[in-house]
C-alpha cells in the first residue's frame, strides 16, 4: 500500500470515527491534514487555522 493510499484509508477511518461523535470533516479539513502529512505545515498551523473563525467572530 502506497503512502497516499494509506493516508486516504486513515482519512476514511477518521471520518467514520468523528461522525460517531457528530463531528463532520469537510474538504478543507482534508486539505489541512494532507499538508500536515506532507510536512508543509505544523500542528500549530492547523490549530491556528481551526481557531481563526472563532477568534474573528468574537
For cell 493510499, what's the residue?
Answer: 5
Quick one: pLDDT at residue 42?
94
Using the predicted structure, report yes or no on whether residue 4 has a pLDDT greater than 70.
no
Q: Which stretches does DSSP call E strand in 1-58?
A: none
Helix axes 27-37, 3-20, angle to 10 degrees: 140
**pLDDT tens per residue across span 9-50:** 677 788 888 888 888 778 888 888 889 888 999 999 988 888
Amino acid at each position: 500500500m502506497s503512502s497516499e493510499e494509506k493516508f486516504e484509508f486513515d482519512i476514511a477511518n477518521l471520518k467514520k470515527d468523528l461522525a460517531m461523535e457528530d463531528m463532520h470533516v469537510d474538504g478543507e479539513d482534508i486539505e489541512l491534514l494532507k499538508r500536515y502529512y506532507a510536512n508543509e505545515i505544523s500542528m500549530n498551523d492547523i490549530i491556528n487555522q481551526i481557531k481563526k473563525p472563532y477568534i474573528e467572530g468574537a
